[in-house]
Amino acid sequence: MNFLITGAAGFLGSALANQLAREGHQVRGLDDLSAGDPKALYEDVHFTRGDVNDRPKLWTLLQEVDCVYHLAARVSVSESLLYPREYNAVNVSGTVSMMEAMRDVGVNRVVLISSGAVYGDQPVQPLQEDAAPFPHSPYAVSKLAAEYYVRTIGALWGIETVSLRVFNAYGPAQHLPASHPPVIPNFLRQAVRGGSLVISGDGKQTRDFVYVDDVVRAMVAAATAPDIDGMVINVGSGHETSVREVVEKILQLSQSAAEVIYSPRNDMGVSRMCADLVLAGEKLGYVPRTTLEDGLRKVLREDPRIKNEMEKNKA
């Protein structure tokens, strides 16, 4: 098949592009490189630097494409609080531009990578796809709006659509911004370098941490799965883990004596998150294979930044 992946140089985008290339598909990638790294992509991936709002460029890249994976987005909840307009421009307007270009060229299917953040705080766990969304941040609002646009424009113009609500994905070489980095790679790096692990709140807030390889398998399946048009499907591990438990596992696996500090700041987001995976199993044949402990071991073994820190400590 011929694929176009937007956000192809990002953490999930590059993992997906490389897997599709390994399977022998023709893969085109688009990324503005605001956060991605094209060096993460295999040579077989035909990469173009560009903006997802550039319609003429999209028309060119979409020629003879069977399915689009739309991952291009700004993804920091904390950053979105400060820059909601920018998040709307990329995550919402960029999605509309992509759907319009797909309509113009005649592409048949799109897989939108959304987020479990759209649920917000919910009274019942695990989170089922029919729960009423209650987004807490401009980022979550933008992903929910993107879902509605994808489904609505798809229905109007005969484009098959599916939105995958990915929960807290992690894995080797995950992007680590200086401000508000993702929990797992940040804690692992701090643990191996002997720094401090700062937990917001009491650490009892829970998340559904899902390993990147599992997410990629769900994304690959979504390109060809039958009878999923217009659907929203969760992609997670199906396990609820507190931030405090994550820290304990990281310290144990890394054999670190790093200090753990609890910050009283109330910026820990929703209190609980866990994905219900019944629909993913039924429609995508999805069953997560990597436990949190195994996933943390893989990151410790394979992430080049963490390996460098460990080598420094040995020296």
Show which residues are catalytic: 139
Structure-block tokens of residue 32: 């503005």
> What are the two backbone dihedrals, phi and then psi, of residue 40, each rounded to the nearest 5 degrees?
-75, -10
Distance between CA atoms of residues 294 and 274, nearest Å? 19
Q: Both tokens of residue 235? A: 């992609």
Contact 129, 71 (CB under 8 A): no
